Amino acid sequence: MQNEEPIKDANELLEKLENLHPSDIAYSLRKIENESVDDFFYVLKTIPDELLGEVLLELPDNLREAAYTELSIQRLTDAVDLLESDDATDIIQEIEEIDIEKAKEIYDGLEEEDKKDIEWLKRYEEDEAGAYMQTELFSAKLNETVGESIQRLKTAKANDELINIHQVFVVNEEKSLIASISLEDLIIFDFDKTYEEILNQADEFKYKPFKVSDNTHIDEVAKQVEQYDLNVVAVVGYQDMLMGRITSDDILDVIEQNATEQMYQLAGVNEGFEHEDNLITTAKKRAIWLFLNLGTAILASLVIGLFDQTIQAYVALAILMPIVASMGGNAGTQTLAVMVRQLALGDIELENAKDAVKKEVFISLVNGLLFAIIMGIIAWIWFDEKLLGLVIALSMVVNLFSAGFFGASIPLVLKKFNIDPAVGSTVLLTTVTDIVGFFSFLMLAKVILL
Amino acid sequence: MQNEEPIKDANELLEKLENLHPSDIAYSLRKIENESVDDFFYVLKTIPDELLGEVLLELPDNLREAAYTELSIQRLTDAVDLLESDDATDIIQEIEEIDIEKAKEIYDGLEEEDKKDIEWLKRYEEDEAGAYMQTELFSAKLNETVGESIQRLKTAKANDELINIHQVFVVNEEKSLIASISLEDLIIFDFDKTYEEILNQADEFKYKPFKVSDNTHIDEVAKQVEQYDLNVVAVVGYQDMLMGRITSDDILDVIEQNATEQMYQLAGVNEGFEHEDNLITTAKKRAIWLFLNLGTAILASLVIGLFDQTIQAYVALAILMPIVASMGGNAGTQTLAVMVRQLALGDIELENAKDAVKKEVFISLVNGLLFAIIMGIIAWIWFDEKLLGLVIALSMVVNLFSAGFFGASIPLVLKKFNIDPAVGSTVLLTTVTDIVGFFSFLMLAKVILL
């Protein structure tokens, strides 16, 4: 069984290394580092090259950075040399951010072919498919026999050059991707046949490869992997030239990361700055959102200020007014979360957006009426004033309606303008529900009560 | 390239069916249904059996239910018969919810072996690994040669009984799972060797299978798949008997679903009731959370009520008081989102929780001081009253501090009591930030200003 208790003793961990998955080693190292930083570095310096790179990749950012500083150029070079191209590139780029000289020396120590791959992969923006692809893959030419290609696979595997192979990518003379044949099909073929023969006999669409262009946005790649239940996507460049592949484990991380970002954005948190060592930086980034919220809150206060005499005449209004704003804010948040998420998942699209808005408005009206009655009666009894109950009831309907309408519309409008619907929509919505909440309540009170 | 424009014409779609992925057919069907329900049923009734089941699975819930009602027992039986066991079970169970008689007749029409599988899979709770596994897999016995097993794979694939095969699961005489060998290794072996010979020559841990027990919670399975970058997990029962496998595409859905649930829970939305056809049901479920929030808001109002004379004397207090509560609520929401998400991802655990709380308290104090200064000056100038600035500044520090402290602690306490930290934590936090916000502001005002 996996997921055993972490090993907290440095020497015990080193002894058991070979039975452990790099992810488990990294987990144990986190525990060891908690107890003693020296032990942490001792293990890192002692574990074999073929594990070091994989373990580094599984460590949290701050520990990985510490390791980059502490480990020698030679050790880092050996570790990077054994990684797949995408991971090697990530590590080199991370070291560059800390110590550009060290990164350069490590890079210089790599094999020529690895250098070329890394140079190429570094060109991509971090959200492009190319930045996620590994260049190591199993490909075959049309005129090759299955047996010949398997012989190459055997050699590559013996040299630890290829792992995680699920299919052979068939390319033509120009290296354009023609077909993708999964190993489950390959293994039952006649090994003496050429790929050309196999493809000619097969149904045209049977081995059609799933592919994306190297500059495709990674979120789009993730959508395709999800939609078509893929294990691997081929990445192609100019004229469909096969460049690399992206595996589902990378996509899983992308999906998890995107969900985190969305949750954070709705809460006014900038995901990218949450793992900073310097807490002041994290605090600053959060302060930006709080600052926007302060603006909203002051606007709401200005609205209240318009009715200062009404409040002075009826102090019950000051007591009750946060209820209306709070209920509107909450109902709006419900709608917002549903809209943002369903837009992200593709369950709602701009075309059928009208139905979604109608649905949300209907729900908010139903609940507006429900809570109008409840809160109307409570206010009436509490302050023994029937009209006050009427004021809060009417205001509840108005505010929950606008919460539903704007909670549904704001993300759609943002999306229409190609802005991420999760970003800023909470602040915009709060502005609406606060202002509508306070204004409707106090205005109705002024008209009805005074 | 995938993801072409959806085909909106029924006959055109039927013509091009064989070139399309079931997921694309389902997408086109959604568009067709938007235009004409008749055309939607026409396509469904006409597409071949081997596609029907897969297409049904990709349709949104409401369209799938419509299809269950409209399609004949014979068509549904033929479609279910061709699905993998886990999908077949899902469909049978969904039809049971609509029409138990129809479900029974479909079940009766299936092959004996499928019936047994479905009966077995139906036993599992919906969040158990067993409910997600498919029983179709490629296994081999120890004394079998690789070649013999591949011959069986060939037959099974020719009969369309197996797809998506990535490894062979090796079992002993008692059907206990011994090893998992990926096809990339298998394909380069000597096909005349038995599995026993191969395993005896290999390193003890090389083919150690990743496995979970059939009653493992699916979230735990998802965690392992993520942690170890797996494509497939074996599911075992009593004495490690091999029962089925779970593939990474199912795990991807689990992860996406969990993220959605978490976002919804934080916003007070019950994910399970968001896709109801009956909007009143959705409204009711959301009303429960709004009701809890109303309780919180009334508590906050009671606190304000304690200071009615103070407010009457100083109406500026009524104008400013929502600012303190709003800032506290927002800062708390930031902390809450970070804590809930990092607890879910395993980045924060109960052991290192103290550090996380410290971090959040530090950040909230920094921002508390920042906004105390900003808001203190604004209030001072706005109402030309130095002491009012002091009151709101002090109150801002108190409230942002408690927002950070409780925003970090509430999810941890919930987790400690084995309650999902996302559920209810928003309402609990709002209660704290509202009450602390209003009380600290009005109490300080009473003491300092009057």
Same domain, B150 and B276: no
Contact B229 A210 (CB under 8 A): no
Any chain B CB within 8 A of the CB of A93? Answer: no
Q: Within an 8 Å CB–CB cutoff, is residue A435 touching chain B? A: no
Q: Do A153 and A237 belong together in one domain?
A: yes
Q: Which of A8, A18, A263 to mutate to test the interface with B (most CBs of B within 10 A)?
A: A263
Q: Tell me: do B37 and B85 sit in the same domain.
A: yes
Cβ-defined contact of B157 to A267 (cutoff 8 Å): no
- As for how many domains chain A has, the answer is 3
Among A126, A160, A175, the domain-final residue is A126
Instruction: Find chain A residues with C-beta within 8 A of B5's C-beta.
Output: none
**Within chain A, what is the greatest distance between any pair of CA atoms?**
96
Start-end of H helices in A267-314: 279-305, 308-313
Tell me whether residues A266 and B262 touch, CB distance under 8 A: no
Residues with Cβ within 8 Å of B371's Cβ and at least 6 positions away in sequence, in order, are: A287, A290, A294, B327, B396, B400
Summary mean pLDDT of chain A: 93
B330 with B435, same domain: the answer is: yes
At B307, which CATH number?
Answer: 1.10.357.20
Given CB atoms, is B423 within the 8 Å cutoff of chain A?
Answer: no
- For residue A139, what is the enclosing H or E element? strand A139-141
Cβ separation of A187 and B186 shorter than 8 Å? yes
Domain membership of residue A394 (yes or no) is: yes
Cα gap B36→B366, rounded to integer Å: 59
Partners of residue B287 in chain A, C-beta under 8 Å: 367, 370-371
Spatial distance between the Cα atoms of A303 and A313, rounded to a whole number of angstroms: 17
CB contact under 8 A, B304 and A294: no
Can you give the CATH number for the domain in which A65 is found?
1.25.60.10
B339 falls within a domain: yes
In a domain, A132, yes or no: no
Contact check, Cβ <8 Å, B188/A363: no
Query: Which residues 6+ apart lie within 8 Å of B327 measured at CB?
Result: A290, A293, A294, A297, B371, B375, B396, B399, B400, B437
Distance between A108 CA and the closest CA of chain B, angstroms: 30
Flag whether A422 is in a domain: yes
Q: Are residues A216 and A300 in the same domain?
A: no
- Which residue's structure tokens are 């349709």? B59
B253 contacts A252? CB cut-off 8 A: no
- A148 to chain B, minimum CA–CA distance in Å? 11
List, as ranges, residues 254-273 from B with C-beta within 8 Å of A.
255-256, 259-260, 262-264, 266-269
Is B132 within the bounds of a domain? no
Which residue's entry shows tokens 């070139």? B19
Neighbours of A436 (CB within 10 A): 24
* B331/A286 touch (CB, cutoff 8 Å), yes or no: yes
Residue-wise pLDDT for A121-154, tens only, equals: 999 999 999 999 999 999 999 999 999 999 999 9
Q: Is residue B371 part of a domain?
A: yes
CATH of the domain at A232: 3.10.580.10
Mark whether B221 and B328 lie in a shared domain.
no
Yes or no, beta carbons of B187 and A253 under 8 Å apart: no
Cα separation of A365 and A356, whole Å?
14
Q: Which domain holds residue A119?
A: 10-126
Are A256 and B253 in contact (CB < 8 Å)? no
Determine the Cα–Cα distance for residues A420 and A213; give it in Å rounded to an integer. Answer: 23
* CA A27 remoteness from chain centre: 22
B313 in contact with chain A, both atoms CB, cutoff 8 A:
no
What is the CB-side half-sphere exposure of residue B431 using CA atoms within 13 A?
A: 15
Contact A375 B294 (CB under 8 A): yes
B429 touching A (Cβ < 8 Å): no
Contacts of A286 in chain B (CB under 8 A): 331, 334, 363, 367
- For A:114-153, CB contacts with B below 8 A are 138, 150, 153
Q: Which of A178, A191, A182, A203 is nearest to A144 (CA)?
A: A191
Chain A neighbors of B297, CB-CB under 8 A? 322-323, 326-327
The single-letter DSSP state of residue A165 is -
Contacts of A252 in chain B (CB under 8 A): 225-226, 248, 251-252, 255
Distance CA A22, CA A249 (A): 15
Q: What is the pLDDT of residue A371?
A: 97
Q: What is the pLDDT along chain B (450 residues), one digit of tens a residue?
A: 344 678 888 899 999 888 889 999 999 999 899 889 999 999 999 999 989 999 999 998 889 999 999 999 999 999 999 999 999 999 999 999 999 999 999 999 999 989 999 999 999 999 999 999 999 999 999 999 999 999 999 999 998 889 899 999 999 999 999 999 999 999 999 999 999 999 999 887 889 999 999 999 999 999 999 999 999 999 999 999 999 999 999 999 999 999 999 999 999 998 888 877 789 999 999 999 999 999 999 999 999 999 999 999 999 999 999 999 999 999 999 999 999 999 998 888 888 899 899 999 999 999 999 999 999 999 999 999 999 999 999 999 999 999 999 999 999 999 999 999 998 899 999 999 999 999 999 999 999 998
Q: Report if residue A263 sits inside a domain.
A: no
Judging contacts by C-beta atoms under 8 Å, the chain B residues touching residue A321 are 318, 322
Residues A293 and A437 in one domain: yes
Do residue A443 and residue A294 come from a single domain? yes
Q: Indicate the pLDDT class of residue A1, thresholds 50, 70 and 90.
A: very low
> Of A1, A165, A321, which is closest to B184 when you measure between CB atoms?
A165
Residues A117, A146: one domain?
Answer: no
For residue B60, give the chain A residue with the closest CA: A347
**A161 shares its domain with A110:** no
Among A126, A155, A178, the domain boundary falls at: A126
Which one of A78, A100, A126 terminates a domain? A126
Q: Please, are residues A353 and A446 in contact by the beta-carbon 8 Å criterion?
A: no
| B96 occurs within a structural domain | yes
Query: Cβ separation of A267 and B434 shorter than 8 Å?
Result: no
pLDDT digits 0-9 by tens, A81-90: 999 999 999 9
What is the rounded distance in angstroms from the CA atom of residue A195 to the CA atom of residue A192? 10
User: Quick one: A293 and A429 in the same domain?
Assistant: yes
Residue B108 to chain A, least CA–CA distance (Å):
30
Query: Burial letters for B343-367: b for 16+ Cβ neighbours within 10 Å, e otherwise?
Result: bbeeebeeeebeebbebbbebbbbb
| Least confident span in A87-91, A160-164, A216-220, A304-308 | A160-164
CB atoms within 10 A of CB A23: 20
Q: How close B125 gets to chain A, by Cα (Å)?
A: 22
**Coil/strand/helix, residue A182:** strand
User: CA nearest A411: which of A431, A399, A426?
Assistant: A426
Question: Do B304 and A319 touch, CB atoms closer than 8 A?
Answer: yes
Q: What angle do helix axes B248-266 and B218-227 make, rounded to 10 degrees?
A: 110
Contact A60 B157 (CB under 8 A): no
Residues B285 and B363 in one domain: yes
- The pair phi, psi for residue B211, each rounded to 5°, is -140, 155
The complex scores an ipTM of 0.88
Residues A185, B187: Cα–Cα separation, whole Å: 11
What is the length of chain B? 450
